[in-house]
Amino acid sequence: MILAKVLIDGPSELIFDYEIPSHLAVLVGCRVKVPLRNKDATGTVIRVEESHVDLGFTPRVVNSLIDPDPLITPHLMELGKWMSSYYVVPMEHVMRALLPESVRQESHQEKVVKVVKLHRELDEEERAKLKKRAPKQFEVYLLVKAVEEGIALSDLNTAAVKGLEKKEYVRIEDEAVRRDPEEDQEYLESKPLVLNAEQEVVLESLIEMSSQQKKKPILLHGVTGSGKTEVYLQAVQAMLDKGKTALILVPEIALTPQTVERFKSRFAQLHDQVAVLHSNLSQGERFDEWHRIRKGEAKIVIGARSAIYAPMVNLGIIVVDEEHENTYKQEVAPRYHGRDIAVLRGHFEDCVVLLGSATPSLESYANTEKGKYKLVEMKQRVDGQALPIIRVMDMRLEAQKQKSGMVVLSEKLRSSMNTKLENGEQVILFLNRRGFARSLQCPSCGHVCECLHCSIPLTFHRGEERLICHMCGHQAIVPKRCPACKDEAIRFQGYGTEKVEEVLRKVFPAYKVARIDTDTMRKKNALRETLQAFKAKKIDIIIGTQMIAKGLHFPNVTLVGVLNADLGLHLPDFRAGERTFQLLTQVAGRAGRGELEGEVIVQTSTPHSPSVQFARHHDFAGYAEQELSFRQQFSYPPYGHCAVLGTRSNHERLAEFTLENLHKRLKEEKPEAIELGEPMPSPLVRAHGQFRYQLMVRCVNPRVLSTHVQSVLKRTPAPEGVTVIFDMDAYSFF
């Protein structure tokens, strides 16, 4: 008897054994229909094995195959099982990552349109007769005859088509149509550029590594503007020449349009062989792109974090651009890190993995020092220009000078902007906070308007004239007086991108200003259109959040201003300094990427912070040396693995009690190598109406850590109304 272990679709992890009938060729990764209780269910086969023992019951039989070919490749199935074990998450959650919802649900199918094609050609006599008796039919006949691949029925006179079909002059066929997310875009073919000496060394290292039996991941540390993208393009071409495929990951959807443009322009002859995967696609577009990849029609795949599960075969290279970005970390189960999964998939697929960044993560950088990764560097900008000069403005002194409690633009930044704009150059301003004002506070009693469901202040958005929670989306009317003491002097505190936009329109009324954040970029293709307008010099100033902080290339931008550089510096997170350094360096890299020299002005209230000073001098090695020394003292990553175990509930005491109980059990038979923290409220103690408690678990060996936590969670079911969350290699401590 041959049995299939089937993981049933649904919220709970149900795995049942079913007998495979002799007439069905069921393989691992196939999607099947199976009987479950009194109805049919769908599921994924995760194992096929021959059973020679008496099970003690008669297994039910697989009804049918949804698709005769496995939707999950053997390598991806192996990767999924590793993730389930390492991240301590049910296989059902992993399957949801491996198979998009549009693929799992049968409600999504190929888009089919009715196409009119020529059935037979008319002779002269028939043509004359048709033209005289049915002129409209004759017009349709001529149109269809002229287009060999046929014309959509919706584009023609339906009555005339029906008449022609009845006479058997034309036929109507159903034809699958691809929903192409890039169909409105035109790409001009680009030619490979001549590489400089540093780029040549990197490309040769990649090609050499691809022929090695044991392939190490390669970390490409290249300064901003050093031509990393050109190296990616030529490395992909080298793999295509070998008959292999390529996968390109970018950290933000914001970077996808520009990356897609560069790849489709370079591989214009293979235009239909470039596929795109990211969360902004419609379900239909994702369905079509995913199946194109599975069928081998797409040789190059570009996408955000989840594209790492693209069902590609014969992979030659995986490129992780801006590998340091925390957006590669998934914040819902399975809580994987895209960069780490890329390295692991490269191991399973036996392909080259290239991690690129101007500010590598300290984890990757430390792996080069340990010999796990190979380090290659590009220290010069490709155009020969020097890195931009970074000036640091102390906003404490600026506030005294301008005699104002809140200064948006320092005098130096304002005058520099004025000079650049008068010269026809462009400016980018960066502020990682959207909205008009960050809070509404009463000066009399100190009351701050907070969200009813989260422990954070509400942000004022002038466009909507509402106070909005950036955590859960809750909205409230702006009070005219303090809700606590009824004082009418209640006022706005702080500022966001919306406030800066208003200031810029007043200070620079003659210039076009655009804002890029999640509030203004909700409409599909809005980001692409705004960036294209900026590239075409129809926009002079862009103010934006981290959506504009990296990867974008605009040669006419000569000034970048960083407003309130301290926003992420003082968070209770050991990576706060590293993130600030990376962000400042990346934002600074947007300036001076053309023939003109670039300038960066950083506004901060902590100008002597190591993160600010090392970024000012473009000194990654110096910052890494200091920060790694600090991390080593406290066994923080990369010198140990750090996980967070948390509980969430609508009842605060229940969340706290559950975590205390788990903490007590984790202490029992705890391996000596594990360092266990104490249960405490999360820094953000309430979010989405739920109270949150957490504890930190650290260990040098991640397997020891995950195995111990998994064994405790298996024998300690959570009470009703409590959600237990385990985040291995955590990137968020809120």
Residue 58 confidence (pLDDT): 82
Query: In this predicted structure, which of 9-23, 151-165, 330-344 has the lowest mean pLDDT?
Result: 9-23
Residue 49 confidence (pLDDT): 85
Backbone angles phi, psi at 248, to 5 degrees: -115, 120
Residue 108 confidence (pLDDT): 59
Residue 318 confidence (pLDDT): 97
Residue 551 has pLDDT above 70, yes or no: no
Q: Which residue has the higher pLDDT, 585 or 260?
A: 585
Mean pLDDT of the chain: 90
Please give the average per-residue pLDDT across 469-484, as a whole number. 92
* CATH code that applies to domain 389-436+495-630: 3.40.50.300
Name which of 291, 276, 103 is nearest 183 in CA terms: 276
Residue 688 confidence (pLDDT): 94
Q: Quick one: 677 exposed, middle or buried, by C-beta within 10 A (0-12, 13-18, 19+)?
A: middle
DSSP-derived 3-state class of residue 203: helix
Residue 645 confidence (pLDDT): 96
Cβ neighbours of residue 280 under 8 Å, at least 6 residues apart? 253, 256, 524
Residue 268 confidence (pLDDT): 76
Please give the average per-residue pLDDT across 61-67, as a whole number. 89
Residue 422 confidence (pLDDT): 95
Strand-pairing partners, residue 516, are 544
Q: Mean pLDDT highest for which of 107-111, 117-121, 176-180, 575-579? A: 575-579
Peptide bond into 509 cis (omega under 30): no
Question: Which H/E stretch holds residue 47?
Answer: strand 39-50
Residue 189 confidence (pLDDT): 82
Cβ neighbours of residue 384 under 8 Å, at least 6 residues apart? none
Look at the chain and count its residues.
Answer: 734
Structure tokens at 652: 């605060």
Please give the average per-residue pLDDT across 308-328, as a whole number. 94
pLDDT band at 11 (very low <50, low <70, confident <90, very high): low
Structure tokens at 51: 């059973």
Please give the average per-residue pLDDT across 43-59, as a whole number. 80
* CATH code that applies to domain 641-727: 3.30.70.600
Burial 366-388 (b: 16+ CB within 10 A, else e): bbbeeeebbbbbbebbbeebebb
Backbone angles phi, psi at 317, to 5 degrees: -155, 140
Residue 225 has pLDDT above 70, yes or no: yes
Residue pLDDT, tens place only, 155-203: 888 888 898 888 888 898 887 777 777 666 677 788 999 999 999 999 9
Residue 663 has pLDDT above 80, yes or no: yes
* Cβ(316)–Cβ(211) below 8 Å: no
Q: Which residue has the higher pLDDT, 440 or 269?
A: 440
Name which of 224, 244, 384 is nearest 312 in CA terms: 244
Please give the average per-residue pLDDT across 113-119, as a whole number. 87
Q: For residue 469, count other CB atoms closer than 10 A to its CB.
A: 20
pLDDT band at 145 (very low <50, low <70, confident <90, very high): confident
* Cβ(220)–Cβ(356) below 8 Å: yes
Residue 426 confidence (pLDDT): 95
Residue 386 confidence (pLDDT): 83
- How far is the CA of 624 from the CAs of 288, 356, 366, 629, in angstroms? 43, 16, 9, 8
Q: Which residue has the higher pLDDT, 133 or 552?
A: 133
Domain limits, the chain: 2-104, 111-177, 197-378, 389-436+495-630, 641-727
Torsion of CA 567, 573, 578, 584, to 10 degrees: -10
Torsion of CA 402, 407, 409, 414, to 10 degrees: -10
* Cβ(562)–Cβ(556) below 8 Å: no
Residue 271 confidence (pLDDT): 62
pLDDT band at 431 (very low <50, low <70, confident <90, very high): very high
CA 696 – CA 707 distance, rounded (Å):
16
Name which of 592, 723, 595 is nearest 647 in CA terms: 723
Tell whether domain 197-378 is in CATH 3.90.550.10.
no
CA 598 – CA 556 distance, rounded (Å):
9
Percent of the chain having pLDDT more than 90? 56
Q: Which CATH superfamily is domain 2-104 in?
A: PriA, 3(prime) DNA-binding domain (3.40.1440.60)
Residue 107 has pLDDT above 60, yes or no: no
pLDDT band at 385 (very low <50, low <70, confident <90, very high): confident
Residue 621 confidence (pLDDT): 94
The answer to whether 389-436+495-630 and 641-727 have equal CATH topology is no
pLDDT band at 34 (very low <50, low <70, confident <90, very high): very high
DSSP-derived 3-state class of residue 627: helix
Residue 715 confidence (pLDDT): 92
* Cβ(513)–Cβ(540) below 8 Å: yes
CA 407 – CA 411 distance, rounded (Å):
10
Residue 528 confidence (pLDDT): 82
Residue 439 has pLDDT above 80, yes or no: yes
Residue pLDDT, tens place only, 185-195: 677 788 999 99
Residue 14 confidence (pLDDT): 80
Residue 651 has pLDDT above 90, yes or no: yes
Residue 500 has pLDDT above 80, yes or no: yes
Residue 350 confidence (pLDDT): 94
